[in-house]
Structure 1
């Protein structure tokens, strides 16, 4: 099991429909949800964008396949009225007696928004998300809502069936930009960021999104990582195209590291994952912070790759900088979650030793 909730919290991520056939997808969702629950994950992120299945239908499939794990449903304000989100939350609670969490988005893929006729600029989208979230949460608290804002107007709007207070959703806000962090603070929500290496961070209060490949040795971990994420020319071209049209702060932040990486990071590439040691000496592990999957358009978060001990130290460093929630990438197997758990166990032990 992952470390106790009062120390740090771990969420997994649900597979995307575009990566599976229709015949296989529902089974895969159920499998990943059960693995994550059995490993002790508190929740599981469900993505949303124009190219994949509706996240609320996927969340219902997750709930049906599990006993307690919390779907963290990505909510894009452009897709539906805030009343519809509140109605979906309370309907799932009524039908299944289960809670969900809300991952409030402002952006996503710029092309998706433009295709829907939305050209709202970056910071204004966060203001829209704040307005949207306030309406959703007021409805879920059982208030009769009258609100006239820039984007939505409601009058004497109430929610039925009512939501039991114990099933009130936690709210997270995705965004590393000043506008995103400000919105999370205004809402009293948990900010979720794509972190830089621990040595470059100072305040990570909230959640971080990071993939992990950990094994007993660095050599084994890098071998697994290279096999899982081989170079992909088409993916690299898609990545460059996304860089040209994206106005996402975190996207640009990660992309900026591609040409300004420190030497240890440069050594931690698919072709040179480690520096050999001399006779009688243990090879020094390379910097575990790895952007190769991001650069090949395979995922949108950085990875930590290395031995259990090294990855555990990096995780502990993030916690010391304020992180208390980790959202992992999609687990490829049940066994992979066990490897990740080993790194978190060492992180927890290090934090306990210093009284954190």
Structure 2
């Protein structure tokens, strides 16, 4: 189980429609959501960009096929007005009585934004996202009408109907890899999600008292087993060398101004050909967008404990390939929470 009585929040990631045929996608998304729901995860991240299906429609399917899982919907300001996003949240809550989480985006693939006529500079996109989130928050919180005037958005006497019950107010997340992202997280009351540095660097920051802002989230994949050789066998089976993927990664580097993308790419160059617990091979081959931790339970849980001690309260895992992935990840987090002393007071962590 991956439910820890509020000590941390754990999200998985939904499969992407670009990686499979239309006839298979909905089944795969519902299956991954069912595994995550059964494991007690807080929610599941649903990506958005110009090349995949609409995340709100996937969220609706997820709500219909799970009991408690919260869709973590990626919200791209260029796609819809903040009123439309707020209306989606309130309508889904009205129809399903369920909470939604929102992953507020400031950027995206540069070519995607250019195709939509958006040439807003990197840091200004965070200014826009702050305004977007503030309008959305006020609409969902307000009992009366909302008036807001900013650089990018303006509303006059706007009211949200149906109103959102306070207990279903959405959790907000945003990329916190850059200073602009961290400032935006503080401004809108969101969890700042980072692509973590290698544990050795995280431990160095911890020893210097540099633990980042809170609340803080981590985006990471995990493959752990009793036998480290078994973990690595699975890792290379899932993420073999992919020449086309490496070319796609190089192209993305040329067309992206995302700080996290550059940071991970630089780390990948430094750690090339290393079979280390902190593994960037899948990212280099464009198999996924986050680092992986690979090895036996004790080693991987040590690394997760480092991130917990550095202030992480939220973890977004990669796409699960099978239900066993969540069982083994649960073992890692139980061990890590015990090592970090992060279990809630009086909490008995679920048995393996």
TM-score category of the 2 structures, normalised to the smaller one? over 0.9
Within the alignment, does 1:325 sit opposite 2:332 as a pair? no
CA drift of 1:299 comes to 0.8
Tell me the CA shift for residue 350 of structure 1. Answer: 1.4
Q: How far did residue 354 of structure 1 move?
A: 10
Match of 1:276 in 2: none
2:350 is matched with none
Would you say 1:84 and 2:84 are equivalent positions?
A: yes
The answer for the alignment partner of 1:231 in structure 2 is 241
Matched, 1:246 2:256: yes
Q: Does 1:260 align with 2:270?
A: yes
2:145 is matched with 144
Distance 2:3 2:28 in 1: 26
Out of 333, 339, 350, the residue aligned to residue 350 of structure 1 is 339
Q: TM-score, normalised by structure 2?
A: 0.92
Given that 2:220 and 2:291 are in contact with CA atoms closer than 8 Å, whether structure 1 keeps it comes out as yes
Can you list the C-alpha shifts for 1:256-301, whole angstroms capped at 9, x where unaligned?
112223xxx7431xxxxxxxxxxxxxxxxxx310111100111111
CA drift at 1:355: 9.5
Moved over 3 A (4+): 352-356
Q: Are the equivalent residues in 2 in contact too, given 1:30–1:62 (CA < 8 A)?
A: yes
Q: Is the 8 A contact 1:175 1:249 kept in 2?
A: no
1:192 aligns with 2:199: no
2:65 maps to 65
| Alignment match of 1:212 (pick from 182, 203, 222) | 222
Query: After alignment, is 140-149 or 243-252 more displaced?
Result: 140-149
How much does 1:198 deviate?
Answer: 2.0
| Aligned pairs for 1:146-185 within 5 A | 146-185=147-186
Q: Distance in 2 between matches of 1:70 and 1:354?
A: 22
User: Are residues 322 and 256 of structure 1, via their aligned partners in 2, closer, same or farther at CA, if it must alter by over 3 Å?
Assistant: same
Structure 1: state its 5+ residue gaps.
269-286
1:225-271 Cα offsets, whole Å, 9 max, x none, are 0110000000000100111121100000001112223xxx7431xxx
Task: Using the TM superposition, name which of 246-255 and 202-211 deviates more.
Answer: 202-211
Whether the 8 Å contact between 1:3 and 1:345 is mirrored in structure 2 is no
| Alpha-carbon distance, 1:351 to partner | 2.3
Distance (whole Å) between structure 1 residues aligned to residue 342 and residue 20 of structure 2: 43
- C-alpha displacement of 1:353: 8.8
State the match for 1:134 in structure 2: 134
Q: How many residues align?
A: 335
